[in-house]
Amino acid sequence: MSEIKFAYWVPNVSGGLVTSTIDQRTDWGYDYNRELAVLAENNGFDYALSQVRYMASYGAEYQHESTSFSLALLLATERLKVIAAVHPGLWHPGVLAKLGATADHLSHGRFAVNVVSGWFKGEFTALGEPWLEHDERYRRSEEFIRALRGIWTEDGFSLGGDFYRIRDFSLKPKPVRGPDRPHPEIFQGGNSTAARRMAGRVSDWYFSNGKDFDGVVEQLRDVHASAASEGRSVRFGLNGFLIARDTEAEARETLREIVARAHRPSVEGFRDAVTQAGKSTSDGKGMWADSSFEDLVQYNDGFRTQLIGTPEQVAERIVRYKALGVDLMLLGFLHYHEEVEYFGRRVLPLVRELEASSPARESVSV
């Protein structure tokens, strides 16, 4: 069975990955990020995931644009695949497909996209674009992905959709093709029922917010069942904020301090925005449906995955997630440079050792 893969959140917005006044030795600028990307590919990371944000919200006062920043990181590295986050609704899929094909050639086939349906109404309003109701956002995202895949793989592609229209369009050049890679990989964010169905129908990868073991199993069942009914399979990526320290007490103390020093007005503001964004999901399964204040201090519920402790404890948990069916861990850190290096030196070798000695995957029935 293949090894579990690792991605990291690109800190391309200011303020780090936690909404806290704790000291974070992480910088959102390019020089820091270029060094980080090289460090990451030398410390076992397969992917980097950029964030898309057009204006300040829960903090994140400054933001670098995701596709251009991702391309810069691709050009600064040799093996790292970089996933650029994009909002349907703010991009035409044909324009993104064109950008993606060029980025893919410039990077010898390492470009990928994360299609995010959006939670931040203020951003769309400020840019003068309509803010669709929750499930409509997913209908649009699905059409966007169908268009992207069609343009990347077919000549004379046409689509007469509700959101996009494409007529007899042939993209030249197409992106780089490999034996197991018909086009750049398509990831998606979102955990609601609409998100799960969309993953089953069209996405290559499904990203989950931070979750404990039960939370992961519940989603895996649903997403795999949804994909199986379409005769497809979808790979599963899980977010986690990783705090590995030489002792468990140090790691726990770091978490305690992050939460104790949370920037309360920003966390509460974020909660209001995401509650509003998920309101139209009737079954309450949206990504932040049951997040506590502490969870939201890492805005993708990263503490819930509990990758907090010694390298041994963290490695054991990662391998347990893998056994449940997780294919990729998406990680965030407090002090990126130091901690990515610590991860590669102290945690990753233990993960690989444990994987080699426990190859079986627990079956999650669908």
Ligand X SMILES: Cc1cc2nc3c(=O)[nH]c(=O)nc-3n(C[C@H](O)[C@H](O)[C@H](O)COP(=O)(O)O)c2cc1C
Alpha helices in 189-247 (DSSP H): 193-202, 213-228
Lookup: tokens for 54: 């057009």
Residue 341 has a CB neighbour count (10 Å cut-off) of 15
CB of 155 to ligand X, least distance (A): 32
Q: Residues 4, 60, 99, 116: which binds ligand X (CB under 6 A)?
A: 116
Interacting stretch for ligand X, rule CB under 6 A, among 74-82, 90-98, 114-122, 221-229? 114-122
Residue 301's identity, in one-letter code, is D
Closer by beta carbon to ligand X, 118 or else 184: 118
Sorted by sequence, the CB contacts under 8 Å of residue 101 that are 6+ apart come out as 152, 171, 173, 174, 175
Q: Report which residue's Cβ sits closest to ligand X.
A: 189
CB of 52 to ligand X, least distance (A): 4
Inter-residue contact 54 to 126 (CB < 8 Å) = yes
CB of 322 to ligand X, least distance (A): 18
**Pairing assessment for the beta strands 308-309 and 47-49 based on DSSP bridges:** unpaired
The SS3 assignment for 133 reads coil
Closer by beta carbon to ligand X, 72 or else 116: 116
Q: Residue 309 carries which DSSP code? A: E
190 binds ligand X per the rule CB under 6 A = yes
52 binds ligand X per the rule CB under 6 A = yes
CB of 188 to ligand X, least distance (A): 8
210 binds ligand X per the rule CB under 6 A = no
Q: Residues 20, 26, 43, 117: which binds ligand X (CB under 6 A)?
A: 117
118 binds ligand X per the rule CB under 6 A = yes
305 binds ligand X per the rule CB under 6 A = no
226 binds ligand X per the rule CB under 6 A = no
Inter-residue contact 16 to 31 (CB < 8 Å) = no
85 binds ligand X per the rule CB under 6 A = yes
| Residues lying near ligand X in the complex (CB under 6 A) | 51-53, 85, 114, 116-120, 189-192, 194-195, 207, 209, 239, 277-278, 286-287, 330
